[in-house]
Amino acid sequence: MSKITIMIVDDHTLIRETWSYLLGRNEELEVIAELGDGQRAIEIARDKRPNIVLLDINMSPLNGFDILKMIRKLSPGSKVIAVSMHSQPAYAKKMLRLGARGYVTKNSPRKEMLDAIHQVTAGNVYICQEVKNILSEQMMNEEEGGDGLNQLSEREIEVINLIRNGLSSKEIADKLAISIKTVEVHRHNILKKLKVKNTASLINYINSSGL
């Protein structure tokens, strides 16, 4: 029986080397590449056609979303599992919509990563337990009236993260290639959905919620 070939893509050397070591100890798996450069990862995927790509979302200058699109185009047989620090379901939904077959957070234990690899190899979609738990909580919140977090769109979450990083509306507009007016609309809708009055209250809210 041939081994499942794996490529690890993460811009943190320690994370790459740790996963490579842990997965390499499994007789069914073979790590054929581990690298932190997104463009190089696309080229390796095209040339070596790994069965599984473990892909970090928070890469630069190419982020995981862009890398995923290119790998799907150049190596359609490779199945991508997103590996992220983000546990918010919006990120998982976006990656799955772009063609990823799995989503695990960096809080996931080794066993869950192995489960994800085997499930995705078998043709299934895998979402880690941490994200599933948050989805369950959101469903319960919806039944009880909700707290607004589950109403946020992917774009609104992007805007929130940029606000938290201290960017102005103009800087956010430039970063996301949208108009300042659109950013202001997003800010207004975010405050309304989360039921907070201003940016300071918003930052306190998202820090306490773990968004």
How many domains are contained in the chain? 2
For residue 78, what are the domain limits? 4-132
Residues 118-142, mean pLDDT to the nearest whole number: 82
When the pLDDT of each residue in the chain is averaged and rounded to a whole number, the result is 87
Which amino acid does the sequence have at 189?
Answer: N
Ramachandran angles phi, psi of 77, nearest 5°: -80, -15
The answer to the question of residue 18 being in a domain is yes
Residues 153-161, mean pLDDT to the nearest whole number: 86
The answer to the question of residue 142 being in a domain is no
The answer to the question of residue 139 being in a domain is no
Residues 62-82, mean pLDDT to the nearest whole number: 94
Residues 86-92, mean pLDDT to the nearest whole number: 82
Both 118 and 203 in one domain: the answer is no
The answer to the question of residue 190 being in a domain is yes
Instruction: Single out the residue in 132, 161, 196 at which a domain terminates.
Output: 132
**pLDDT for the residue 202:** 80
Decide: residue 210, CB within 10 A, 0-12 exposed, 13-18 middle, 19+ buried: exposed
Q: What is the CATH number of the domain that holds 50?
A: 3.40.50.2300
Both 122 and 165 in one domain: the answer is no
With cut-offs at 50, 70 and 90, classify the pLDDT of residue 145: very low
Residues 85-92, mean pLDDT to the nearest whole number: 83
The answer to the question of residue 111 being in a domain is yes
Does position 126 have pLDDT exceeding 60, yes or no?
yes
Token digits of residue 211: 């968004």
**pLDDT for the residue 1:** 67
Q: What is the CATH number of the domain that holds 173?
A: 1.10.10.10
Both 75 and 124 in one domain: the answer is yes
pTM for this predicted structure? 0.68
Does position 186 have pLDDT exceeding 50, yes or no?
yes
Both 62 and 110 in one domain: the answer is yes
Both 45 and 77 in one domain: the answer is yes
**pLDDT for the residue 140:** 63
With cut-offs at 50, 70 and 90, classify the pLDDT of residue 157: confident
**pLDDT for the residue 166:** 86
Sheet holding 4-9, edge to edge: 29-35, 4-9, 52-56, 79-84, 102-105, 126-127
Both 23 and 123 in one domain: the answer is yes
Instruction: Single out the residue in 71, 97, 132 at which a domain terminates.
Output: 132
Residues written for the chain? 211
The answer to the question of residue 141 being in a domain is no
Least confident of 88-92, 142-146, 179-183, 205-209: 142-146
Token digits of residue 136: 């369950």
**pLDDT for the residue 148:** 63
